Amino acid sequence: MTSSTDLAALLCSRLCHDLLSPIGALSNGLELLADEKDPDMRQRCFELLEQSARISADKLKFFRLAFGAAGGFGEAVPAREPQALIEGLVAGNERVALEWAVAEATLPKPAVKVLLNLAAIGLDALIRGGTLSIGAEARGGAIELAVRAGGPRVAFDATIGKALDGSLAQHELTGRTAPAHMIHLLAEELGGGVQYALSPDALVMGAVLPNG
């Protein structure tokens, strides 16, 4: 059994991996700005710095709720919060369109964590662009979550699928598979479940969690 410390370390590795690129771009942009004298090029440097800072902030906000305790929220989170966080991630990829179909005004915090992580997995699968569709509905005392990543070529690591369904060996866990393992554990702890289906042009993931 992977300890909570091991899982936290793997999640931190994933966070650092995702933040390395935009923060590195900030550092490079500042170096260029220090040496650049041309006004047009300096303006371009400022635009790149602004873009990298926005991407970094969006990712930090996303991971705060997807991985962390997110103490600023109670047990119920306004649905507009995960929507804004996912929109922030998608905004960095012009080839991906977002479809949001969540009718509920609020969602339980565990459901939000599962939804955000499934959305991140779906977005990673759209290597050539496509549509990321997000849905959630309260029904019969449960929250049903659905994420579909559809596009011309969907890339999905089989080890992530194993982490989602709980069949991945503990020693095989990495920063890449840790988020999927985390939401599997969370769903199992709550008495719910996570599943997925993969076809050449779509990855569909769903979760059912007790509501309350």
pLDDT for 208 equals 96
Burial of 172 (0-12, 13-18, 19+ CB in 10 A): exposed
* Two structure tokens written together for 114: 């599962």
pLDDT for 71 equals 55
- Over the Cα atoms of the chain, what is R_g? 18
Please report the domains of the chain, with CATH numbers, ordered by start residue. 4-210 (3.30.565.10)
| Residue 138 φ then ψ, to 5° | -90, 125
Integer CA distances (angstroms), 77 to 53, 55, 101, in order? 26, 23, 16
pLDDT for 2 equals 61
pLDDT tens, the chain, 212 aa long: 567 778 888 888 888 888 888 888 888 888 888 888 888 888 888 888 888 888 888 888 898 899 887 656 778 899 999 999 999 989 878 899 999 999 899 999 999 999 999 999 999 999 999 999 999 999 888 999 999 999 998 999 999 999 999 999 888 899 999 999 999 999 999 999 999 999 988 999 999 999 86
pLDDT for 15 equals 84
